[in-house]
Amino acid sequence: MESVLRTENLCLDINGKSIFKDVSLSLEKGTFAALCGRNGAGKSQLLRCLKGLRKPSSGSILIDGNPSSPGERMKRIALVFQSAEMQIVQQSVEKDIAFGPENLGLDKEEVQRRVDEAISIMNLEDKRRQRPQTLSGGELRKTAIAGVLAMQPDVILLDEPFANLDYPSTLAVIRALIAMHERGYTILVVSHEAEKFLAHTDKLFIMDKGRLAESGPSAEIYGTLRDYDIYLPASCSFEELTWLRA
């Protein structure tokens, strides 16, 4: 299957320090992938390069097999930051989700259609008119995700989406990611909390010391996470790597 997003020998140096080097990865359309690694491995900076917020020092970022500009990636790739409140700009959930499509110059009917669809996917119907300041951490993160869904990006990147969430909020975000995957979205999640959601992913990337150390089907290589000091429960099967329980 043709990749929707691919990097070739991507490198980033900041102030003379190598952040990551020779990262080559590929995301096929509809893939739900995880990117794991120790703190300082370069994961978040890689996401910023993919989004177009930071210019890599060398290498290529391709969309649909073609070289891409930062401007194109800003339009076609969405990034949900770890601090979801940074992305909330309006005074109600519905208005915040509508903010992006409205700025694309879409007509009111199309904006409303996109807002309704994003609210449905994120299961935010009962929060539609609520002020963001009154939401829980999980609800805020779901609102931020809904905002990028309404922009209809080709790829959605999420940086530590479970950070600082309580148990119910974590479950809500996991269910939201699964709903997005079922709708055919291409998703890449950066997280050091693989035990919470990895069973739902198709593909796993592991970064270590600024390099892509492992990549492949999640079910086949998940056991190597322990080699990079990433927590997995003892004697845990792949299917058990989820906080969702029947």
45-82: pLDDT as tens digits: 999 999 999 999 999 999 999 999 999 999 999 999 98
DSSP letter, residue 223 = G
Alpha-carbon distances, residue 223 vs 26, 59, 133, 138, 196 (angstroms): 21, 30, 40, 29, 15
181-240: pLDDT as tens digits: 999 999 999 999 999 999 999 999 999 999 999 999 999 999 999 999 999 998 889 999
For residue 86, is pLDDT > 70?
A: yes
pLDDT of residue 137: 87
For residue 170, is pLDDT > 70?
A: yes
Q: Could you give the CA distance from residue 48 to residue 14 in angstroms, rounded to a whole number?
A: 13
For 100-104, the CB contacts below 8 A with 24+ separation are: 100/147, 100/148, 100/150, 100/151, 101/150, 101/151, 104/151
Question: Is this structure's pTM higher than 0.85?
Answer: yes
Q: Could you give the CA distance from residue 61 to residue 91 in angstroms, rounded to a whole number?
A: 36
| CB-based burial, 61-91: b 16+ in 10 Å, e otherwise | bebeeeebeeeebeebbbbbbbebeebbebe
More confident residue, 7 or 2: 7
For the chain, give the percent of residues with pLDDT over 90. Answer: 86
Mean of the per-residue pLDDT values for the chain?
94
